[in-house]
Structure formats: structure tokens, C-alpha cells
Structure 1
Amino acid sequence: MNTWPAIARFLALRRNTSLLLGALVLALTGERLWLGFAPKYLESLGAGILVIGLFDALQTLLGALYAYPGGWLTDRYGQRRSLLFFNALSLAGYILVLLWQHWLALVFGAFLFLAWSALSLPATFTVVATSLEAGRHTMGVGVQSMVRRVPMMLGPLMGGWLVNHFGWAQGVRWALLGCILLGLLTAAFQWFMVETRGSSAETKTAPAAARPATFVEVVKSFSPALRELLVSDILIRFCERIPYAFVILWAMNHVSLNAQQFSYLVAIEMITAMLCYVPVAHLADKYGRRPFVLLTFVFFTLFPVTLLWANSFFWLAAAFVVRGLKEFGEPARKALIIAQATPELRARTFGAYYLIRDCVVTSGSFLGAWLWSVSPSANFIGAAMCGALGTLWFRGFGFRRPQNH
């Protein structure tokens, strides 16, 4: 009789966290129905390599630019109203891409349909930080990350089926219709959230005058440990971003996979990641987070290396297992950010961290496009070099200070 309440307590499933998880599943399933196929869809609409690189750069840049306003809105207006507003922006973007089938629609629409995902990150971190004690933050983030991977797996499978059966133009159109429907259901989940103003007593202990209000002051509040993590994270994200938009082109153009087969690779990646989250989160909370963050940086570095020899579905599947393992220590990395953030500035700290990181890493998309124009091998080797630098930086500087839960 008491099993389910015990599980809910263990996973920190309160009213708002449960509704937020439901909203995440619906919104991300809609997004992943088609967004992973966007580079190939752009190519089918006549876009060149530079346009594909631009679209990939926009995903990173807009995610960064929306992150801090997302944190500010969450701190000021609460999760419910902020999430509803950004969901409305996303729906407008999907409608634009649905009605105007041109590569320019994806470029302009990105300013709208990427809005909700960017806002949800600071909001999700804030929910974890205020729902759990410090020693369980990694588990809280791990559960959220695991739930996020469900739509990341299901969306491409369904989207790949639509593209295979209806072709690129009509298949993506059906995927966008499904995305809009799921976006409306997401709004229903958000509507029933209870508005909160930062439930924790921590917020009350800090007088308003003592809270930095500007972006610069929030950045100045970063601890030395958070700054060291940020530098290594930037290098690692260059490793991820340089080949990101071109992995699907490698799989479909060089290995001759179809959309359905590529969706199987994504499913392999997501299953691998999901199997890691809870056990690794438990171990990281118990024994310390930094070794697990270091391991995840190693897997980031290995993925582009494995692509160099991935000339068949089997070897691509092995590469995507490595890609899934790069999530090995991601909850631990996010928990490190939570641990280093000033309590009353959490959402803005998360937003500022991601704004700085992703604004810098945006150039990685253009660098990736240039390296790809040289050769796929140049792209993959350049990415691996950035990953190695980030891993060495974190090992050299990230372990100098006492571990902090």
C-alpha cells in the first residue's frame, strides 16, 4: 500500500515536479519528432552546408540567449506563467514552419520554437534545488534527465517512420502537426501547476538589497569552482557542437542509412543514457561528483573518434553507445552547478552559466561547417582535440578544491 508513496518521495515527485515532468515529456516528444532530422530536411529544401551550420549555430545561440531571461522570468513571475508564455512562442514557431515550407522558415522560426526548451532548464534546476536536500541533488537531476530521454528516444522513432512513409516534405509536415498537438497538451499540464515564489526558506534569509540584480553581478557571484567548471564545459561543448549537425549527414550520405535506421541509432543512444542516470546519480551523491564528471568528459571526447571508423550500421551503433555514455556524469555536472549557486539566485545563475557557455560555443557550429567542408575526418579530429583539452582542464583545475555537496 505504501510502495508508490515511497517511490514518489524517493524521486521527489510533488505536484509541480510531476506536472513539469509531464510537460517535459510532451513538449520534447513533439520537438524530437522532427528537429533531429532538420539538417537533412534543410538539405532537401535546397539549403547549403553554411545554412545548415547557421541553423545549428542558432540552436546553440538562442538556447544561450533565452537561458538568462528564462531564469529571470522564473525568479520574477514563477514557473507557471513563464512556461506558458514560452510554450506559446514555441507553438507560433512550429506553425510558421508548417505553413511556409522553405529553409528560411526554419531559420526565422528557430527564434520562436526553441524558446520553451531554453526556459525549462533554469526552471527545472530550481525545482530540483528547492525540492531536495543538497545530498540528493544528483539523483533529482538524474531522474529529470532520464525522463527527458524518453521523448528523445520516442520522437525520432516516430519522426523517422513518418519521413520514411511520406517523404521528407510531407513527413515533416505530419511531424509538425503532431508537434503542435503535443504543444497544446503541454500547455494544459502547465496550466495546472501551482504558482510558487521560491518555496525555500533560503530565499527569505537574504534581504532584497543583498541580492545582485544585474547579469554582471550574477556572474561576479560565481565561485572559483564554478568558473573552472565553466571553462572545461565550454571546451567539451565545442567537442560536441563541431560534429553535431553533420552526424546525420555522415550516417545518411556516407554510410547510406535511411531516416528509420538513423532513428534506431538515436534510440540506442537514449537507452544507453537512461541506463546510466539513476545508478550513477546514486554513486555520485554517495562518493562525490567530480570523478563522474571527468568520466563523462572522456566519453564526449571519444564519440567523434569512434565516428572516424563508423562505416556501417554496426559501428555507428557502437559509436552511439559511446554517445549515450557521455550522459554518464551529466547529472553530477548539473548538481555541481546547483551546489555552487547562491540559493536566492539559482535560476539566474543557471541562466547566466548557460548563456556564457553557449554564446561562446555557438562559433563551434561555424567551425564545424568549415571543417566539414575540408573533410569529415577534419571535423571529427578537431572535435576530439577540443574534448581532450576540456578533459585535461577539468582534471588539472577541477579537483583542486574540496568536494562540496
Structure 2
Amino acid sequence: MAESSTARLARFLAINRTVGIVLLTVLLFGLGEQLWHPFLPLFLKSQTKAYAEEVAVSGELSSLALWTIGAYACLLNVFQGFCYIGGGQLTARLGDRGSLIVFGLLTITGYVLFLLVPFPWATVLACVLILGWESLSMPVTFTTVGATLEKERQGMAFAVQSIQKRLPKILGPACAAGVLLYLGQSYGEDQSRLIGMPILVGTALVLGVASLIVQLRWMPHRKTPTMAGNLWDVLRQFPPNLRRLLLAEILTRWCDWLVRELVVVYLAANRGLKNHEILSLITLQHLVALATYLPIGRMTQAVGLRPFIGLTFVFFALFPLTLILVEDGWMWIAFIVYGLREIGEPARKAMITTNMPEAIRARGVGLYWGLRAFAVCTSALVGAWLWQWRGPEMLFTAAFVFGILGIVVYYLFCQATPAATVDKDSR
């Protein structure tokens, strides 16, 4: 019997039923998050009334604005660190379906808190709960792909997963831009954020509920390996190559998190860009990333994982440098570089999955990401201090230095040596 076009497409994209439901869940929750998250730092600034003075030349920010944003990012990393580890533990205990449902309920609780308690402290707490979704669900994605797909198809599967994560980052900001631009015509920049954010978060709540319904109705239950040993035992089973990759990633993520939550503030305060201009740059970044996933996913099958992972480290380092080097009107160059940081993401995830022993995969992936999050949790606070002390140029230069260190560690010490088994019964 001839294979249908749908079946051929699913085989080409390395999608089966279990992987498909996980990807749909990622899409719905991701779209909800991206309706509001790109403008969260500016929303916090507006909510705290934290501009010390509007100085067009210097774009000077008050200490309250900087430290509120830094504290939010620090708390987010700490919370995500626990979520990664806890997500791995719960996935190992509850399986893919049960853990996704629990994580979805936690995210929905955050949305409700955001809508019902409109104060800065509640906003930060609610956002931490909401943004824990990705870190909680990360081990589910890795165990599902690792257990149900052959090693050579995992790079493509993670490319599709990256597309599912990236599409919301294009559609969400575009929808948010329309809402904020419309409100801004009547209320101004700051007030439009205060009015528009609850509307966008309410829409995200509806998408989250829809995702839970999909999981309850169609997500199959898959047996997971029996848990054995504690987290220290799991860490001891990490292959040496993954430990070295983790060190390189920590350095590179310091490069990233020093500036991540302050980029939109820099664009608004120092470069004088409006809401819709910033959202256009964010959309460009995600379009560039999206364009790389499928071609690179296929190329990893021919040339291996390592070259593309290395390029990711290079572009991570270049982004903060380009932010301060490009002239006004040419900021799109920096955001093309920003998008190219994703060129090796599917390959990196495939490398981690195939190197991680199956018996500890759920907990191992959670522990890997958790240790990384804990290691970089103070970077945003350091970034706020550097901005306050010497300005954004010093901050972006420091981030570039950390990126270079990550490149050195990766190219000198990391090799891609995957080996994995496939659970044929769970495809």
C-alpha cells in the first residue's frame, strides 16, 4: 500500500503521535507567552513609573527600573533552575502526559494571578510562574524525542520543535504590536502597555486552557524507566563531554543573560525606538532563526552536529557587540545576528539527548538545564549594576567577553560523540 502524503511529511519531519501532541502543546503555550513577554521589561518600567528623567540623549534609567528588571531575571533563572530539575523528576515519575498537565496548571495559575493582582510584586511573581512552563516541560520534549525516534532523526525532530517554539515568537509580537499601536494612539506609550498587557495575558490564558484540553483528550501515556539513585548519582553519570559542554554553555549564557532583559530597554531609552519598531526587530530575529531550522536539521544528518553548535556560540558572542557598533537605522543587522544564534540549537539539543543515558534522560536533562540556570541567575543583577556604573556600552562589552570564553571552551574541549537507543513501542 502506497504511503500517503501526510505520512511522508510526518516521516520527513520526524513526527509521530506523541511528538506531535508535545509540539502542539509547546505551540499553544508558547503563543500565549509571546503575546506579552517581549514587552515585560518595559511594562515593569511603566508600572513602577521608574524613569528618573526622560533624557533623549542619554536615555538614563532610574535605579529602580534597572534593579526591578534585574531582580525579575534573577528570580526567573532561580525558579527555572528548580523547574528544570523538578520537571525532570516529575517526568520520570508521572510520565509525559501527567507532567505536562501539572505544568500547564501551574502556568494557568500564574496568568490568573497576573490578571487579578495588578501590582509590580504580583506581576513579577506571576511571570515567574508563567515562564516556568518552558523549563518544566523541557525534559518531556527530550525524553519523548529520545525514546521514540532514531538517533539520525533527532536533529530534524528538534528542528521542528524549534520551529514550533519560534512561530509563536513571530505571531505573538505581531499581534501585540497591533494591540499596543492601537492603544498608543489614544493613551500614549506607557499607558498603552498598562492597558494592553491584561488583554494580551487574558488571551494567553485562553490558549493555555485549550492546550490542557488537547493533552487530556489526545496525549498518550508512555511508560518511563524506573527511577534509581539521587541527583548526585545522576550527575555522576553525565558523560565527560556533556560536562564540558555545560561549562561552555554557562559562559555563553552569562553573555546572553547579562543583556537579555535589558535589550528592549536599551532600544527604547538609548536608541529612541517605538513599540512597533522594537517588535519589528524582534520579528526579524525570529524569522531569521526560523529560516535556519529545517535546512540545518537536514544538514546535521550529513555533516554531524558539532559545526553548527560552534556557530551558535559564535553568534551569541557577536550579538552584544553589534548592538553597540551599528548606527541608528542599521539595528536590523544586530537582530539578524541575534536570529543566527539559533543556527545550532537543534544540533545542540540532539547532542545532549543522544549523549544522555536513557535510564537518566528525563532527570539528566532537567539537571543539566537546572545547573545552567543556577549558574547564570546572578548575571542579570550584574548587568543592572554594570549599566548603572558605566552605562550600556560597558555592559555589552562584558557580555561579548563572556561569549568569547564560551567559544574557546567549546572548540578546545567539546566533541560530539552521540550514542542512543530507541524505544520502538512508544513511537
TM superposition score category, shorter chain reference: over 0.9
The answer on whether the counterparts of 1:58 and 1:110 sit within 8 Å (CA) in structure 2 is no
- State, as a whole percentage, how many aligned pairs show the same letter: 33
Within 5 A, what are the aligned runs for 1:54-69?
Answer: 54-69=71-86
| Cα distance, 1:19–1:403 mapped onto 2, change above 3 Å | closer
Q: Distance in 1 between matches of 2:292 and 2:165?
A: 13
Q: Distance in 1 between matches of 2:41 and 2:262?
A: 8
Cα shift readout 1:173-224 (whole Å, capped 9, x = no counterpart): 11011111111111112112011114xxxx5xxxx5xx64211110111111
Does 1:316 pair with 2:316? no
Amino acid at match of 1:190: Q
Amino acid at match of 1:187: L
**Structure 1 runs of 4+ with >4 Å offset:** 401-405
The corresponding residue for 1:37 is 39
The corresponding residue for 1:269 is 285
Q: Distance in 2 between matches of 1:280 and 1:111?
A: 32
- Aligned equivalent of 1:174, options 169, 191, 199: 199
- Aligned equivalent of 2:377, options 351, 362, 380: 362
Q: Distance in 1 between matches of 2:197 and 2:154?
A: 38
Does 1:151 pair with 2:168? yes
SS at match of 1:255: coil
The corresponding residue for 1:282 is 298
The corresponding residue for 1:14 is 16
Q: Distance in 1 between matches of 2:332 and 2:376?
A: 27
The answer on whether the counterparts of 2:142 and 2:362 sit within 8 Å (CA) in structure 1 is yes
The corresponding residue for 2:91 is 74
Q: Distance in 1 between matches of 2:280 and 2:417?
A: 42
Amino acid at match of 1:127: T
Is the deviation greater in 349-358 or in 90-99?
90-99
Is the deviation greater in 142-151 or in 286-295?
286-295
TM-score (norm 1): 0.93
Unaligned segments of structure 1, at least 5 residues: none
SS at match of 2:325: coil
The corresponding residue for 2:127 is 110
SS at match of 1:161: helix
The corresponding residue for 1:188 is 213
Q: Distance in 1 between matches of 2:212 and 2:133?
A: 11
- Aligned equivalent of 1:297, options 305, 309, 313: 313
The answer on whether the counterparts of 1:137 and 1:285 sit within 8 Å (CA) in structure 2 is no
The answer on whether the counterparts of 1:90 and 1:115 sit within 8 Å (CA) in structure 2 is yes
Amino acid at match of 2:360: L
Within 5 A, what are the aligned runs for 1:77-226?
Answer: 77-166=94-183, 167-192=192-217, 193-198=219-224, 203=225, 212-226=228-242
The corresponding residue for 1:335 is 350
Q: Distance in 2 between matches of 1:277 and 1:240?
A: 20
Give the Å deviation of 1:310.
Answer: 3.4
The answer on whether the counterparts of 1:288 and 1:403 sit within 8 Å (CA) in structure 2 is no
Amino acid at match of 1:329: G
Q: Distance in 1 between matches of 2:330 and 2:173?
A: 20
SS at match of 1:97: helix
Q: Distance in 2 between matches of 1:190 and 1:111?
A: 23
The corresponding residue for 2:69 is 52
Number of equivalent positions: 393
Does 1:381 pair with 2:397? yes
The answer on whether the counterparts of 2:355 and 2:418 sit within 8 Å (CA) in structure 1 is no
The answer on whether the counterparts of 2:351 and 2:418 sit within 8 Å (CA) in structure 1 is no
Cα shift readout 1:65-115 (whole Å, capped 9, x = no counterpart): 100110111111112121111111111111111122221112222342123
Q: Distance in 2 between matches of 1:59 and 1:403?
A: 31
Unaligned segments of structure 2, at least 5 residues: 49-63, 184-191, 421-427
Q: Distance in 1 between matches of 2:43 and 2:166?
A: 23
Q: Distance in 2 between matches of 1:379 and 1:70?
A: 33
TM-score (norm 2): 0.89
Cα shift readout 1:111-135 (whole Å, capped 9, x = no counterpart): 4212322221110111111121112
| Cα distance, 1:212–1:315 mapped onto 2, change above 3 Å | farther
Give the Å deviation of 1:62.
Answer: 1.5
Q: Distance in 2 between matches of 1:344 and 1:305?
A: 42
Q: Distance in 1 between matches of 2:111 and 2:142?
A: 26
Give the Å deviation of 1:267.
Answer: 1.0
| Cα distance, 1:99–1:403 mapped onto 2, change above 3 Å | closer
Does 1:259 pair with 2:275? yes
SS at match of 2:7: helix
SS at match of 1:245: helix
Q: Distance in 1 between matches of 2:162 and 2:295?
A: 13
Cα shift readout 1:211-256 (whole Å, capped 9, x = no counterpart): 6421111011111100010000100101111010110011111222
Q: Distance in 1 between matches of 2:229 and 2:278?
A: 45
The answer on whether the counterparts of 1:164 and 1:171 sit within 8 Å (CA) in structure 2 is no
